[in-house]
Amino acid sequence: MSRDRRSYPSRKYRSKRLTVIPLDPISHKRLRLVFAILLLGLCGLISRMAWLQVLQSSDLYARARALQIHRVQPLGARRTIVDRIGRLVALDEQRFRLWAHPNNFRFPGDHSELVREPAEVAEKISQYIDMSPSKIINIMGDRRSGIRLIEGLDADKAADISALGISGLELTSYLQRVYPQGDLFANVVGFLNLDRIPQAGLEQSLNNTLSREEPVRRLRLTRDGTPLPDDLAPGVFYRDDEHLQLTLDSRLQELSVKALSVAVQEWNAKRGAAIVMDVTSGELLTLASTPSYDSNSYWNYSPSLFREWSVQDLYEPGSTFKPINLALALQEGAIQADGTVIDTGIVNVGGWPIRNYDGGFSGVIDFPTVLQVSSNVGMVNAMRNLAPSRYWDWLHRLGLDVKPETDLPGALAGYLKSKKDFVNQPIEPAVAAFGHGFSLTPLKLAQLHALIANDGYLVRPHITRRLHGEELSKSPILNKSQPLLRSEVTRTVRSWMESVVEAGSGEGVKTDGYRIGGKTGTADKSVNGTYQEGLKICSFVAHLPVEKPRYVVLVVVDEPKGANAFGSTVAVPVAKKIIDGLLVLEKIPPTDG
């Protein structure tokens, strides 16, 4: 029995044996089909790879670079403007706009599905934007997103709002042009509108110079935004820190504006202007005018104030042009330095009577006296010795009818009659002898007086000094090869002008220890070619110090009211304040002896 048990497994053991299934051989046809399918898939992969790497490589490369490279677009930043002593005149400051999205209002720690009421948010932010909660709620209204609450926030307030961590508040930054001096330089610097488009002054005329170099920056970034050291364009981190420096002095400018404002108010005048020019370099230390406007809030002012009238408006200079005429006559030998002229009180020219401003007469007088008493008749008789043709040639040579070479925006050429009319009509050279019949700008008159103060060399008036160390101005002297007037001529005229301050109508600017020359002017004002009764322009021009002139000071007050309104009463007191300030600020030493 034991043998039988070993020879025949039990039924339980037999049930666990593996069943062997015979395999049928695979047909060659099926193998070929499978191989074909695999080969087709491989070909598809190769084709796709070729498609991506060959035909679409440039497009994919561009898409990858778009994700990897961050482009920083220019913000339109502008260069800072400073005055001659480094005080800020114009600069860009970062400002912020605050946007509200009420459909996403949540405080830190709130559940993601909780939305706060606008009143809750308004209460928290009102203290930072100087706006009551009720006004904030009114601005939001029923809108749910994209609400501009306020703009013009400075960086500190923006940081405070951001620190609140309120979801649904968005701060966007922008650049705002700021003018720290307010209205002090508005007449020459101008302003940018809300779209940062220059509208007036240097901001407009020097727009290209003031625009910073801001190339589009391309940075290759890692996933966390870190710039990679490779593939960086040269100068990608370059910052344009250049600034524009002016020749104007804010201290003297402020003093001049205050003095002008007092005179304009006291005499109920239309406007006033003051110019201080360095006669050797042509630099303007002051170019002041009143009334003016604040460049930071230009929208509150009349557009008529956006132009600098001392550069862009013409007027007849009157008696302040007499020293220039006498210099021309001396240069041509038409008069002599020790000569005399007859002032009979009235002279008829071509049927037109010409009188002195006061109706009086002085008899036989020398030329210092002609300037001291401001004799119109004496000037007519003196200039009669200069041929009209030659006289006109000189006026033209001085550039009365030519736009001056300057960096001041909007500078205009003066007006001079045609040579034919000037020569053939005797009244034209006669009235020109005492500063009428032609017109120029106050700037041009200052330039011509600088010609006398600078020994006959004509300088180029300008208000821009340098761009971050690089000189912007061209050569200041326009006639370097040969002076327009002989030095002995200019010295003689300056001595005559000194007598006006010592014993004439310019006595109001006398300063102990300093030699100052000057000339007053009270000119009838022409409107549309007709002289208007009661309208006049009062002015005064000074050279200092006479022994070696360095500065010309010009004050012009337009349409002062009152019977006692003259150059000596209206313009001289303003010039006195400016000259006193100039002597101190420029540390001009007293005259020896």
Three-class SS string for 285-337?
Answer: EEEEEECCCCHHHHHHCCHHHHCCHHHHCCECCHHHHHHHHHHHHHHHCCCCC
The number of distinct structural domains making up the chain is: 3
Structure tokens at 34: 């499978």
Where in the sequence is the domain holding 209, given as residue range(s)?
A: 70-87+181-246
Contacts of 345 (CB under 8 A, 6+ apart): 355, 356, 359, 360, 361, 362, 377
Contacts of 41 (CB under 8 A, 6+ apart): none
Cα–Cα separations (whole angstroms), residue 48 to 59, 60, 61: 15, 14, 16
Alpha-carbon gap, residue 278 to 528, rounded angstroms? 34
Is 521 part of a structural domain of the chain?
A: yes
Separation of alpha carbons 69 and 171, rounded Å: 24
Same domain, 287 and 155: no
Burial of 32 (0-12, 13-18, 19+ CB in 10 A): exposed
Residue 8 within any structural domain of the chain: no
Closest CA to 85 of 251, 257, 258: 251
> Phi and psi (nearest 5°) for 101?
-130, 85
Is there a single domain that holds both residue 261 and residue 165?
no
The two three-digit tokens of residue 591, written as one number: 């005259």
Can you give the CATH number for the domain in which 166 is found?
3.90.1310.10
Q: How does pLDDT run along the chain (593 residues), one tens digit per residue?
A: 444 444 555 555 455 566 777 767 777 777 788 888 888 888 888 888 887 777 777 887 777 666 666 555 556 789 999 999 999 999 999 889 999 999 889 999 888 888 888 898 899 898 888 889 899 989 988 888 888 988 888 889 999 999 999 898 988 888 899 999 999 999 999 999 988 899 999 999 998 888 877 555 565 665 555 555 555 555 545 555 788 999 999 999 999 999 999 999 999 999 999 999 999 999 999 999 999 999 999 999 999 999 899 999 999 999 999 999 999 999 999 999 999 999 999 999 988 899 998 888 889 999 999 999 999 999 999 999 999 999 999 999 999 999 988 989 889 999 999 999 999 999 999 999 999 999 999 999 999 999 999 999 999 999 998 876 566 556 788 877 789 999 999 999 999 999 999 999 999 999 999 999 999 999 988 877 777 888 999 999 999 999 999 999 999 999 999 989 999 999 999 999 999 999 999 999 998 64
Q: Does the residue 76 lie in any domain?
A: yes
520-549 as b/e: b if 16+ CB within 10 A: bbbbebbeeeeeeeebbbbbbbbbbbbeeb
Tell me whether the omega of the peptide bond preceding residue 291 falls within 30 degrees of 0, making it cis.
yes
- Domain edge (last residue) among 179, 199, 222: 179
Q: Assess if residue 19 is contained within a domain.
A: no
* Helix, strand, or coil (residue 411): coil
**Alpha helices per DSSP H over 164-249:** 186-189, 201-205, 207-210
Boundary of a domain, candidates 191, 224, 246: 246
- Say whether both 282 and 418 belong to one domain: yes
Q: Does residue 371 sit in the same domain as residue 421? A: yes
pLDDT recorded at residue 268 = 96
Beta pairing class for 464-467 and 69-72: unpaired
Q: Does one domain contain both 133 and 220?
A: no
